[in-house]
Chain A
Amino acid sequence: MKRFLWRRTGGFIFTALLVSFATFFIVQVLPGDPALLMLGTEASPASYARLRRELNLDQPALQRYLQWLGSFISGQWGNSWRYSLPVRELVSQAFPLSFALALLAVALAALASLPAGMYMAVRPHSPSSRVLSVLTQVALGMPQFWVGILLIQLFAVGFHLLPAGGFEGWQSLILPTLTLALPRTAILSRFLRAGMLEGLGQDYVRTAQAKGVAGPVVLFKHVLRNAALGPLTAAGVQFAQLLAGTIVVEQVFGLPGLGQLLLNGVFQRDLPLVQTVVMLVVLVILAFDLVFDLCLGLLDPRIRYE
């Protein structure tokens, strides 16, 4: 078990380092001259000099990378070029919102996919099951921002029930959470169904049934436990997609979260801000994956010996 822990954690650190290098490379090396990019071609020489000094552009790339890495790890994230504010401040204002949204969506998706997936597995040929199956397929195909717009039209404009945009308290999170959770629920329930169908067809299940052990007991204890591995693994992978999805959903609902911060940074060519936010998001994704892997390792011994 310990070896497993070390291996996975080591993998996490290694990957995180690689990502940090990739991000740094794309943002600071690829454009050639980042100062030129940020200021345009005809800024005053004084502005150039100032920016070059701020970004330490006169030093070789590798050295800059190591410096940036060092300060990133120690929490000094520099200043946003556009706002002249510490990136840390901007991020700490935006982060809780995005994180809360993501967690709520994951929780909702997990909760909703259980009954849906189980039902589809247990009664695969009933009309409701077929309808559910179709619905999940459709839910996967609908773009998130479309769902968001439709929900706004329906609930905020049509019925004046919920806020339409901006952040004014927990009600503002209801529609965005629903929007985010929809495709996750669809995919998780499909995975659960597939896993359970496979489980139900196994020999040991039929043996148990032949022996007369009651149906529901077999179902819940063994099949579900094994089948849950599939969607759990999927959920881990999905988290990356989820965080990416929050960017879009925040835009639809006008929520001042990380997504909006990032988008503004992109449009304004605020390289320090974009770099840090992307790095943060990816770290969260990787951390989540790590935790997931460890939990799975706990649950399923087979994984530990891969």
Chain B
Amino acid sequence: MNSRRWGIFLVGLLLACTVVGWFYTPYDPNETRVAERFQPPGWKHLLGTDHFGRDVLSRLLWGARISLAVGAAAVCLGAVAGIALGLASGFLGGWWDELLMRLSTTLQALPSILLALLLATIWSPGVPVVLWGIALGNIPVFLRVTRNQVLSIKERPYVEAARALGASDLRIVLHHILPNLGGALMVQFSVSLAGAILAEASLSYLGVGIQPPEPSWGRMLREAQAFGALAPWLVLAPGAFIALAVVGFNLLGDSWILGRERVYKGE
């Protein structure tokens, strides 16, 4: 119960930051003002300034936009492909199912980061690498969730009834299966988004993700590492933001499960 509230709160906060950041930041996130470098958090700069005198809070707000956008886009891409394949796999069954599951296992053996690194080798570091690396990594996940749901729903009495009444396969998929996927997918989406934010941060930290001067939370941590003793707020702030965002999405996802469990127990 509690976790759901926290989840909504944190995610809501993150979304608020993103929306606000879209229209307004206290300072231009990329504007360098070297004379004001390394200022500790204070009235003028709520979270201090970095080594170029850029306002940390503004960069974090702007970075929220980027991290969320890239993360959400990547997860959506992966989800759309994964759901489509999962529907096919669960519904058609047999030979198709075997093949798709095999391919899914193969893709799962390549963690997102490795995939992204492979892509970074043949393309250059940047947003496409992050996007496709995370998207491809999410396909097997959504494939599995969808397939499992389809398999369990397929056997339900009302589906059999519909089929007996002559409903076409497509109609069954659209009217009976898809709507019931919603819950499981919401959970997965939330959890995947949490993973995507972490993945993007890690890739940017390694240097293959978002490139300067665009502020990415992961990149900010990479730059802050040198100044850890001099300006600890540069290390604490971006890391805290990442952690809160990820925890928020995880809690949200978890709470969906808890909610549904209660429903099932009542049945």
A and B touch in the complex (CB under 8 A): yes
**Residues of A in contact with B (beta carbons under 8 Å apart):** 11, 14-15, 18-19, 22-23, 26-27, 30-31, 37, 137-138, 140-146, 149-150, 152-153, 157, 240-241, 243-244, 247-248, 251-252, 262-263, 265-267, 269, 271, 274, 278, 281-282, 285-286, 289
In the assembled complex, the Cα of A271 lies from the Cα of B119 at a distance in Å of 11
B208 at interface (Cβ–Cβ under 8 A)? yes
User: Contact: A138 with B247, CB < 8 Å?
Assistant: yes
Residue of A nearest to B117 (CB): A266
User: Contact: A141 with B243, CB < 8 Å?
Assistant: yes
Note all chain B residues with C-beta closer than 8 A to A248. Answer: 113, 202, 205-206
- Contacts A143-B218, A274-B118 known; A22 to B239 CB distance under 8 Å? no
Residue of B nearest to A243 (CB): B111
What 10 pairs across the A-B complex have the smallest Cβ distances?
Answer: A141-B247, A146-B239, A141-B246, A244-B111, A18-B106, A244-B113, A141-B243, A31-B122, A142-B243, A153-B228
B244 at interface (Cβ–Cβ under 8 A)? yes
Note all chain A residues with C-beta closer than 8 A to B73. Answer: none
- Contacts A30-B122, A266-B117 known; A285 to B109 CB distance under 8 Å? yes
User: Contact: A282 with B110, CB < 8 Å?
Assistant: yes
B167 at interface (Cβ–Cβ under 8 A)? no
Note all chain A residues with C-beta closer than 8 A to B106. Answer: 15, 18-19, 22
Note all chain B residues with C-beta closer than 8 A to A146. Answer: 221, 235, 238-239, 242-243
User: Contact: B205 with A26, CB < 8 Å?
Assistant: no
Residue of B nearest to A263 (CB): B206
Note all chain B residues with C-beta closer than 8 A to A240. Answer: 108-109, 111
Can you name 20 extra interface pairs (CB under 8 A) apart from A142-B243, A248-B202, A262-B117?
Answer: A15-B109, A18-B102, A23-B118, A141-B247, A142-B246, A143-B202, A143-B218, A145-B221, A149-B235, A150-B235, A152-B228, A153-B232, A153-B235, A240-B111, A241-B111, A248-B113, A267-B207, A278-B110, A282-B109, A282-B114
B131 at interface (Cβ–Cβ under 8 A)? no
Max chain A C-beta neighbours (<10 A), residue from B109, B198, B218, B245: B109
* Interface residues of A, dominant DSSP: helix
B211 at interface (Cβ–Cβ under 8 A)? no
- Contacts A143-B198, A150-B239, A244-B114 known; A26 to B122 CB distance under 8 Å? yes
B184 at interface (Cβ–Cβ under 8 A)? no
B18 at interface (Cβ–Cβ under 8 A)? no
Q: How far is the CB of B172 from chain A (nearest CB, A)?
A: 27
User: Contact: A141 with B194, CB < 8 Å?
Assistant: yes
User: Contact: B228 with A265, CB < 8 Å?
Assistant: no
Mask of B235-262 contacts with A, CB within 8 angstroms, 1/0: 1001100111111001100000000000
Of A140, A150, A153, A269, which one neighbours B250 at CB under 8 angstroms? A140
In the assembled complex, the Cα of A288 lies from the Cα of B225 at a distance in Å of 34
In the assembled complex, the Cα of A127 lies from the Cα of B99 at a distance in Å of 49
Note all chain A residues with C-beta closer than 8 A to B246. Answer: 140-143
Note all chain A residues with C-beta closer than 8 A to B164. Answer: none
A-B CB contact pairs (8 Å), 24 listed: A11-B105, A18-B102, A19-B110, A22-B106, A27-B118, A27-B121, A30-B122, A141-B194, A141-B245, A143-B242, A143-B246, A149-B239, A153-B232, A157-B228, A244-B111, A247-B113, A247-B206, A251-B205, A251-B206, A252-B225, A265-B121, A274-B117, A274-B121, A285-B109
B103 at interface (Cβ–Cβ under 8 A)? yes
* Total count of chain B residues near the partner, CB < 8 A: 45
User: Contact: B109 with A141, CB < 8 Å?
Assistant: no
B159 at interface (Cβ–Cβ under 8 A)? no
Note all chain B residues with C-beta closer than 8 A to A14. Answer: 102
Note all chain B residues with C-beta closer than 8 A to A281. Answer: 114
Note all chain B residues with C-beta closer than 8 A to A157. Answer: 228-229
User: Contact: A19 with B109, CB < 8 Å?
Assistant: yes
Residue of B nearest to A262 (CB): B117
Q: How far is the CB of B251 from chain A (nearest CB, A)?
A: 7
Residue of A nearest to B235 (CB): A149
Of A137, A152, A153, A278, which one neighbours B251 at CB under 8 angstroms? A137
Max chain B C-beta neighbours (<10 A), residue from A37, A142, A251: A142
Q: How far is the CB of B40 from chain A (nearest CB, A)?
A: 16
Note all chain B residues with C-beta closer than 8 A to A241. Answer: 111
Contacts of B75-115 to chain A: CB distance below 8 A: 102-103, 105-114
In the assembled complex, the Cα of A25 lies from the Cα of B218 at a distance in Å of 30
User: Contact: B103 with A18, CB < 8 Å?
Assistant: yes
Q: How far is the CB of A296 from chain B (nearest CB, A)?
A: 16
User: Contact: A143 with B114, CB < 8 Å?
Assistant: no
Residue of B nearest to A267 (CB): B207
B173 at interface (Cβ–Cβ under 8 A)? no
Q: How far is the CB of A252 from chain B (nearest CB, A)?
A: 8
Q: How far is the CB of B208 from chain A (nearest CB, A)?
A: 7
Q: How far is the CB of B177 from chain A (nearest CB, A)?
A: 24
Note all chain B residues with C-beta closer than 8 A to A247. Answer: 113-114, 117, 206
